Amino acid sequence: MTEKNERSAWLQEDLFSIRMRAFSGERHLSGGEDLVGRGALAERLLALTEQGLNSTRNPDRIPPSLNIRIEPVEKDSVVRGTLLPVHCLESSSHQETVSFVSAAMETIGRREAIDPVPLWSHFRRLIEGSEEGLSGASFLFPGGERWIPEGRGVRVTHFGILPSIRQSLLEEANQHPSGSGRRFIDALQIASKIQSFPSSLLEICISDNPEYTTGYMAIRHFGYLRLPHIKSAGDPSGGRLILFSKELDKEGQNEVVSFLSRTPVLFTERSQLFSPSTGKTLLGKLLQRGDTTHGKPGIS
């Protein structure tokens, strides 16, 4: 089936949100989700069940518990989106990646006329492990104030992607130093959902999985930037921080939390996936506000 036919078939079927969480006692092991048409529901259910049962965070192989929730989604409530363009840093060490992040934050600060110091100090907290205990994203505003929604951070949920797009991205991303995999695809959807909120400017994310050492920054007018070696193997630190371009009043804060955690977004289009580039090349592109492909995902 062509991508176009797939898109229209998908949108004619009944749609379901499917969300899986695997855990052992109090310990979170794995999570995943999708928005799927009725015809693909059983296959996705099986794939997410296998993902939960085979989590790499369960070395003792104690059978985990799985919560799986399937809910019908009102078609009219579904927002269609475009995934961000994907870039990747060429880096062979943690130190190289961290000094690139520092230079990138300076560059974004200059480009957007904001002080990069609070951003940098919150990033340090993420890699030093001071954010443990948060289960979702926290927010940072241009004046340096921080807000942790609901005391634990907001979980970005209710998103999905057409199977053909998932497949093509998985194949192409194999050329990246960190390769490909479902974590990358899930993270790209989360980042694209966050960046589609008009006042989000930058997001930085580090996996709290000790074995997953690739993180990313998603940046307005640029895209999703993969950062290999953002932390060292074996390090359980991680978290997700979103910087907004302006302060948000109570109503604006409620609006963003509701959008991120409840509005269903189905990604029916993707952008380009670029080959890895040196830090110098990426900093040049960042300053120019991206390249030929748009850096803001479309939402309709």
State the residues that interact with ligand PML by CB under 6 A.
178, 183-184, 187, 205, 207, 209, 212, 214-216, 226
Closer to ligand PML by Cβ: residue 196 or 207: 207
Closer to ligand PML by Cβ: residue 78 or 191: 191
Closest residue (Cβ) to ligand PML?
207
CB 244 within 8 A of CB 138: no
Neighbour count for residue 28 (Cβ, 10 Å): 14
Closer to ligand PML by Cβ: residue 5 or 93: 93
Closer to ligand PML by Cβ: residue 203 or 296: 203
Residues of 153-169 as b/e, b for ≥16 C-beta within 10 angstroms?
bbbbbbbbbbbbbbeeb
CB 230, min distance to ligand PML, A: 8
CB 176, min distance to ligand PML, A: 8
CB 58, min distance to ligand PML, A: 15
CB 220 within 8 A of CB 200: yes
Q: Which of 163, 156, 158 is nearest to 41 (CA)?
A: 163
CB 12, min distance to ligand PML, A: 32
Closer to ligand PML by Cβ: residue 40 or 260: 260
Provide the strand spans (E) within 94-222. 138-140, 146-147, 159-161, 200-206, 215-219
Name every residue whose Cβ is closer than 8 Å to that of residue 249 and which is 6 or more positions away in sequence. Answer: none
CB 212, min distance to ligand PML, A: 6
Looking up tokens 């965070």 gives 57
